[in-house]
Amino acid sequence: MERSAKQRTMFILPAGQSAAPERAATSNLPAYLTPLIGREQEVQAVCALLQRQEVRLLTLTGSGGVGKTRLGVHIATEVLNDFADGVSFVSLAPISDPDLVIPTIAKSLDLTVGDAPLEHLKTSLQEKQLLLLLDNFEQVGAAAPLVVELLGSCPQVKALVTSRMVLRVQGEYDFSVQPLPLPDLTQLPGIETLPSYAAIALFLQRALAITSDFQLTSTNAPTIAEICTRLDGLPLAIELAAARPTCSHLKLCWHDWSIDWPP
């Protein structure tokens, strides 16, 4: 398979070391500038599922902003070496026409497909050992049977899908992505322990990026915990909240903290 310059080598086995697969795996996965916070158990569980031979189509489901894409990209990086022909990230966010799904997959692989894109893609991927990361599938749910047909013809291709809802097709494994863990507000742990809750850690990381001297203190800790709890541990909402300029001067009570979300 031809690779474009954007598809960089991600993993090369040390010289002399033999292992299957033998080709150096490549990917076009997006790179994040900040580390993944938490999600250790999810990464372990999904990687284990993907490594099972019978799991060919795995959907990470969850509400908007819960972290499906972020988790999917991380998992794809973790399992990259299991796929000799690498991982292809396919962003479906820009399309809403299910007929464009197969051509979009082909494009992510730098393949030109003609009038019969599915047949062409089946032929091209028949011998490939590849993971397709199909991102934002909820936009194009009607194309799910086409993906199943593709996987049916390409025995060593798997699909990791992110979607706000399950695809409801044969052979699909569903992994539900939950919000980030939160502390119990009625028994708030001390500030040494609080950052071990991923929701709090994410808030702190983003607040620090905006305000370099931002500190978790025993005074602002209850407010931060309350903000993260009111935002249900949703990473996107926490990121937005922590980025608000008011965060650097956190009023020490939720009610004083001007915010547009419901009380």
Ligand X SMILES: Nc1ncnc2c1ncn2[C@@H]1O[C@H](COP(=O)(O)OP(=O)(O)OP(=O)(O)O)[C@@H](O)[C@H]1O
State the distance between the two ends of the chain, measured CA to CA, in whole angstroms. Answer: 54
68 binds ligand X (CB under 6 A): yes
Residue 214 φ/ψ region, left for φ over 0, alpha for ψ in the -120 to 50 degree band, beta for the rest:
beta
139 binds ligand X (CB under 6 A): no
Spell out, one character per residue from 71 to 110, where the chain touches ligand X: x when CB under 6 A holds, - when not. Answer: ----------------------------------------
Contact of residue 70 among Mg ion, ligand X, none (CB under 5-8 Å per partner type): ligand X
Q: Which of 7, 27, 69, 129 binds Mg ion (CB under 5 A)?
A: 69
Is the separation of the CB atoms in 200 and 194 below 8 Å?
yes
> In the chain, what are the helix, strand and coil shares in percent, each to the nearest 5?
40, 10, 45
200 binds ligand X (CB under 6 A): no
69 binds ligand X (CB under 6 A): yes
39 binds ligand X (CB under 6 A): yes
Identify which of residues 105 and 113 has a Cβ nearer to ligand X in the complex: 105
**For residue 185, what are its two tokens?**
């507000």
- Give the distance from CA 14 to its chain's centroid: 28
**Torsion angle, CA of 80/81/86/90, rounded to 10 degrees?**
-10
Helix (H, G, I), strand (E, B) or coil at 44: helix
Site for ligand X, residues 169 to 198, rule: CB under 6 A:
none
Q: Which of 157, 202, 207, 247 binds ligand X (CB under 6 A)?
A: 202
Which window, 15-23, 33-41, 97-105, 225-233, contacts ligand X (CB under 6 A)? Answer: 33-41
| Cβ-based neighbour number of residue 14 at 10 Å | 6
37 binds ligand X (CB under 6 A): yes
233 binds ligand X (CB under 6 A): no
Which window, 6-14, 60-68, 140-148, 213-221, contacts ligand X (CB under 6 A)? Answer: 60-68
Per rule CB under 6 A, count of chain residues that contact ligand X: 20
Is the separation of the CB atoms in 141 and 97 below 8 Å?
no
Site for ligand X, residues 148 to 167, rule: CB under 6 A:
162, 164
Identify which of residues 32 and 261 has a Cβ nearer to ligand X in the complex: 32
The side-by-side arrangement of strands in the sheet containing 157-163 is 8-9, 26-27, 87-91, 130-135, 157-163, 57-61, 172-176
236 binds ligand X (CB under 6 A): yes
Exposed (0-12), middle (13-18) or buried (19+): which is 37, by Cβ within 10 Å? buried
Q: Which of 64, 97, 196, 246 binds ligand X (CB under 6 A)?
A: 64
List contacts with ligand X (CB under 6 A): 32, 36-39, 62, 64-70, 136, 162, 164, 202, 235-236, 239
Provide the binding-site residues for Mg ion, judged by CB under 5 A: 69
